[in-house]
Amino acid sequence: MASLQHSQAIKGAKVLMVGAGGIGCELLKTLALSDFQDIHIIDMDTIEVSNLNRQFLFRQSHVGQSKAKVARDAVLRFRPHINITPYHANAKDSNFNVDFFKQFNVVLNGLDNLDARRHVNRLCLAAEVPLVESGTTGFLGQVTVHVKGKTECYECQPKPAPKTYPVCTITSTPSKFVHCVVWAKDLLFAKLFGDKNQDNDLNVRSNDAARSSEHAGDAFEWSGNEDLEQYGRGIYDHVFGYNIELALSNEETWKNRNKPRPIYCRDVLPDRMTQQNGNVDRTDDLSSASAMASLGLKNPQDIWCLMENTKVFLEALKLFFTNRRKEIGNLSFDKDDQLAVEFVTAAANIRAASFNIPLHSLFEAKGIAGNIVHAVATTNAIVAGLIVIEAIKVLKKDTESYRMTYCLEHPSKKMLLMPVEPFEPNKSCCVCSKTPLSLEINTHRSKLRDFVEKIVKAKLGMNSPLIMHATALLYEVGDDLEENEIANYTANLEKVLSELPPPVTDGTVLTVEDLQQEFTCNIHIKHREEFDEEKEPDGMVLSGWTQAPPEKKDGKTSIGNGASTSRSLPTKVGITEIDIEVKEISDGIVSPGTKRKLSEFSDGSTVDQSSDVDETRNNKKTQKHDDDDDLVMLDHWDGNMSKKRRSP
């Protein structure tokens, strides 16, 4: 094989990097060292302190500056003569259109969210530019190659949906700490500090809805001259005391559950806090930005007792109203907002205490609330190296040697880095194979707005959609719309499907298109009356974008199109349980390979270290032979097959 190192293809290549974060910094450095001369890099983010442990191109003094620009300057210090073009912008901006993508020989992703990955995937498909995609979580990582028509696209396998919880688990029956965090963040924090016009489930779910919201109206509004501690105690008693009493009155709920106990502020903290920490004189930034600092709590890894949580709750609330009153009404939870994290931690812990759930430290609560992805420099460095190797193969059009590679925490078949042949495009993929989808929906009850939000944006990942019923336009987003068009579309959004002009009913085919992504999709509408509130919370079910049926190809290098979530990249939210079926093909003899289970946790919970590699069984069946070019292959993934294999 011609050396990868001295490839002419590298010097002439123009590459686009999307993301200048953990993987991005490593990637830009490795590309520059490997003799790439023309690199463009997009990142909308600015530098934060928690980036510095791995994003080595950045320093403390760069905090707040554009990642793309600082990364460029840092790399030019050791490779002054190459061209790096930074864009401090969102990759989804309309100027990064298909024509923009077409100028590149290869696109390299170092992203941290599903949305942007899908967007870039579509643009690469439309521009016919190869994409090398990557992701890491802790010690786990993967690199995949997506070349239109040759390998599967990023969306050929349905991606696991972000983890959601049934509403009543959050509002009434939490059983895990994460439920309390979601409650504290999405309900309580949003109710107190967020947009007052937003729907909020904080009260409406209790048995006596009318009574409780009436009561709530009093408790949550601050009159403006009321003593802030008094106000805080009022909210405290309302959400941790009164609301729990109310919930307890519904005997049915607690038949098979442990009953929560109401907690009232006076029982935990009989005396007023009245500056007991002597911080009257302290007007430094720290104690006004942090309840912990003002209360003298130091270690974010400590678990506070109920009294400490109560103090933090009251103090944080007070600080919001005294120092950040202007922001109230527009705040949304941000993991980098210390005071917000403190408030949410305290509120989640008090609720946890009420439901007899173990309390957690601020450090842990922050990880859960912020969906913080575990990240270390080493995995990012390894993944960046693998990306460059694949990029060089792509530039050399060395199709046969493309690989997707997994970085494992525990070796499988003695491998820490496991290459696998890429999969063929999924023929039922609605993105790269244009397969139509079908949608079950109540056409008499669901509004066009529900369809746009829950399907077109959330499920199909479109930014600026256009919806057509035959030749009639139902909805469109764009800068160049006439006023009457905008009025028309806005009116349409509030109409139920069956009352749209023309009506959308059972059997209608809608065409949904994103002009920027050059992605079109046909959706067959099927009317359905009822949906299960817990299992189908969207009130609609999209299908058709499924795993391809197992289908064998000829020859040694055959691999399935079968779906396995293993190929999903760690997404920012949600837990991805991934199963890799590893098979070894030796002289045509297929041995039941190693079954390895990986868990990718990206939501702040601990990484599951379990590994059930059955080495002995594997060794026994492995044939010895001289050809060591054996490939590790992913099998067709099929629930039944894998069950059979599991029990020998």
Partner 1 sequence: MNGEELTEQETALYDRQIRVWGADAQRRLSKSHILVYGMKGTIAEFCKNIVLAGVGSLTLVDDRAVSEEALSANFLIPPDESVCSGKTLAELCCDSLREFNPMVRVSVEKGDLASLGAEFFDKFDVVVISCCSLATKKLINEKCRKLSKRVSFYAVDCRDCCGEIFVDLQKYNYAKKKTDGATECELQYPSFQEAISVPWRSLPRKVSKLYFAMRVIERFEEAEGRKPGEICIDDLPAVLKLKKELCEAQSVNESHVPDTLLERLVMGAKEFPPVCAIIGGTLGQEVIKAISSKGDPVKNFFFFDATDGKGMIEDISNPNLES
Opening angle at CA 408, ends 405 and 413, nearest 5? 85
Residue 152 has a CB neighbour count (10 Å cut-off) of 24
Does 52 belong to an annotated binding site? yes
Q: Is 384 in the site for partner 1 (CB under 8 A)?
A: yes
286 annotated binding-site participant: no
Distance CA 24, CA 557 (A): 32
**330, 479, 629, 639: residue in contact with partner 1 (rule CB under 8 A):** 629
Distance CA 312, CA 277 (A): 12
43 a known binding residue?
Answer: yes
CB of 80 to partner 1, least distance (A): 7
C-alpha span between 633 and 585 (Å, rounded): 8
Tokens matching residue 314: 């009251």
Calpha distance 183→173 (Å, rounded): 11
Query: Which of 39, 156, 373, 448 contacts partner 1 by CB under 8 A?
Result: 373
CA distance 648 to 640: 14
* 168 catalytically annotated: yes
Q: Give the list of residues 6+ apart from residue 198 with CB closer than 8 angstroms, or none.
A: 190
Structure tokens at 53: 């442990």
**Beta-bridge mates of residue 144:** 133
> Which one from 168, 180, 265, 407 is the annotated catalytic residue?
168
Instruction: With CA atoms as reference, report the closest residue to 302 among 354, 345, 336.
Output: 345
Residues 182-211 touching partner 1, rule: CB under 8 A, are none
CB of 552 to partner 1, least distance (A): 24
Interaction with partner 1 in 122-151: which residues (CB under 8 A)? Answer: 138-139
Name which position in 83, 378, 490, 558 contacts partner 1 (CB under 8 A).
378
Query: Which amino acid makes up residue 432?
Result: C
What does the alpha-carbon distance between residue 131 and residue 272 come to, in Å, rounded to a whole number? 60
Under rule CB under 8 A, residue 640 binds partner 1: no
Q: Are strands 589-591 and 575-586 parallel, antiparallel or unpaired?
A: antiparallel
**CA atoms 278, 283, 288, 289: torsion sign:** negative
Determine contact, residues 196/226, Cβ cutoff 8 Å.
no
20 by DSSP, 3-state: which?
Answer: coil
Q: For tokens 């309302």, what's the residue? A: 238
3-class secondary structure, 418: strand
Residue with smaller CB distance to partner 1, 336 or 494:
336
DSSP structure string for 281-305: S---HHHHH-HHHHHT---TTSPP-
Nearer Cβ to partner 1 (60/198): 60
Considering only 9, 303, 372, 575, the residue that binds partner 1 (CB under 8 A) is 372
Do the Cβ atoms of 346 and 312 come closer than 8 Å? Answer: yes
- Window 80 to 109, contacts with partner 1 (CB under 8 A): 80
Site for partner 1 (CB under 8 A): which residue of 9, 44, 52, 458? 52
Going by the DSSP 8-state scheme, the letter that residue 60 receives in this structure is G
The set of residues, in sequence order, having a beta carbon less than 8 Å from that of 234 and lying 6+ positions away, is 219
Residue 589 near partner 1 by CB under 8 A: no
Minimum distance of partner 1 from residue 617's CB (angstroms)? 17
Contacts of 518 (CB under 8 A, 6+ apart): 98, 122, 123, 126
Shorter beta-carbon distance to partner 1: residue 145 or 269: 145
* Rounded to 5°, angle at Cα 377 from 375 and 383: 90
DSSP letter for 225, please: S
Q: Which of residues 341-370 bind partner 1 (CB under 8 A)?
A: 363, 367
29 belongs to the binding site for partner 1 (CB under 8 A): yes
Q: Which range of residues in 51-59, 63-71, 222-230, 552-560 is near partner 1 by CB under 8 A? A: 51-59
Residue 162 near partner 1 by CB under 8 A: no
Tell me: does residue 33 bind partner 1 (CB under 8 A): yes
Q: Is residue 8 near partner 1 by the rule CB under 8 A?
A: no
Beta carbons of 581 and 634 less than 8 angstroms apart = yes
Which of 47, 70, 381, 455 is in the footprint of partner 1 by CB under 8 A? 381
Inter-residue contact 351 to 160 (CB < 8 Å): no
Q: Region of 242 please: left (phi>0), alpha (psi -120 to 50) or beta.
A: alpha
At its nearest, how many Å lie between partner 1 and the CB of residue 400? 12
Please, are residues 580 and 613 in contact by the beta-carbon 8 Å criterion? no
Q: Report whether 190 belongs to an annotated binding site.
A: no
Torsion sign across C-alpha atoms 453, 458, 463, 464: negative
**Which residue stretch of 2-10, 97-105, 432-440, 466-474 sits at the interface with partner 1 (rule: CB under 8 A)?**
2-10
Sole binder of partner 1 in the list 34, 65, 213, 277 (CB under 8 A) = 34
Shortest Cβ 472–partner 1 spacing (Å): 50
For residues 126 and 129, what is the distance between their CA atoms, to the nearest angstrom?
A: 8
Q: Which stretch binds partner 1 (CB under 8 A): 176-184, 256-264, 400-408, 444-452?
A: 400-408
Residues 409-468 that bind partner 1 (CB under 8 A): 409-411, 414-419
Residue 121 Cβ vs partner 1, minimum distance, rounded to whole Å:
23
Q: How far apart are CA 548 and CA 629, in angstroms?
A: 28
Site residues for partner 1, 284-323, by CB under 8 A, read: 298-301
Answer for which of 318, 403, 469, 596 binds partner 1 (CB under 8 A) is 403
Min CB(622)–partner 1 separation in Å? 8
Which of 403, 583 has the CB closer to partner 1? 403
Of the listed pieces 46-54, 106-114, 349-357, 534-542, which binds partner 1 according to CB under 8 A? 46-54
* Of 53 and 275, CB closest to partner 1: 53
Among 14, 56, 169, 204, binds partner 1 (CB under 8 A): 56
Binding-site residues for Zn(2+), in ranges, read: 153, 156, 429, 432
Q: Which residues bind to partner 1, rule: CB under 8 A?
A: 1, 3-5, 26, 29-30, 32-34, 49-50, 52-54, 56, 59-60, 75, 77-80, 138-139, 298-301, 363, 367, 372-382, 384-386, 388-389, 392, 401, 403, 405, 409-411, 414-419, 604, 607-610, 624, 626, 628-629
Binding annotation: 19-24, 43, 51-54, 67, 112-117, 153, 156, 429, 432
Catalytic residue ranges: 168
